[in-house]
Each structure stands twice: as C-alpha cells, then as structure tokens.
Amino acid sequence: METKVNRGELVERIEGALDSIRPFLKADGGDVQLIEVDSEDVVHLKLLGACGSCEISHITMKAGIEDSIRKVYPELKGVIAVD
C-alpha cells in the first residue's frame, strides 16, 4: 500500500534534488529556486542568474532538473519555469 507524502516532506525531497544539481548550475553562474508544487503534481521553478537567460535552459530543465526531481518524486507530471 502506497503512503501519501505530506507537502512539507515533498518540498524537502525536491529541495534535496535541487541541491544535488546546484553545483553544476552555480559553476555556470546560475541557480534555481523552488516556487511551488501545485495540486496537479507540477513543480514551478525560477531559474536564476545566468540560467534565467541561457538559450539552452529548456534542456537544463528537462534533462537535468526534471530528471533529478523525478528520482525523489515519481508522481511528477512536469516542471515549469516561471519568471
């Protein structure tokens, strides 16, 4: 039987996943901020610094960030970059 994770624990897991990739983002002058996890299991993120204006940020979101979050939050439906 699957146990539903509370929102606080979920946010902690997602922040942990983001912390695992932050060194790579920071090496290029960027970072990421968790804005919210909505009721539809979509994570809203804000790309900061160089990541916010990078031409390949969509690849970073899908291949790096989304994959890292999915490991700790398999129910994830997707990630959205917000301004």
Query: What is the pTM (predicted TM-score) of this model?
Result: 0.86
In our burial notation (b when 16+ CB lie closer than 10 A, e otherwise), range 10-37 reads bbeebeebbeebeeebeeeebbbeeeeb
**Reported confidence tier of residue 59, pLDDT bands at 50, 70, 90:** confident
Residue-wise pLDDT for 18-31, tens only, equals 999 999 999 999 99
Query: Domains, the chain, ranges and CATH?
Result: 7-81 (3.30.300.130)
Q: Select the more confidently predicted residue: 4 or 83.
A: 83
- What is the reported pLDDT for 6? 85
Q: Averaged over 44-72, what is the pLDDT?
A: 90
Q: Averaged over 57-69, what is the pLDDT?
A: 89
CA-CA-CA-CA torsion sign (60, 76, 3, 35): positive
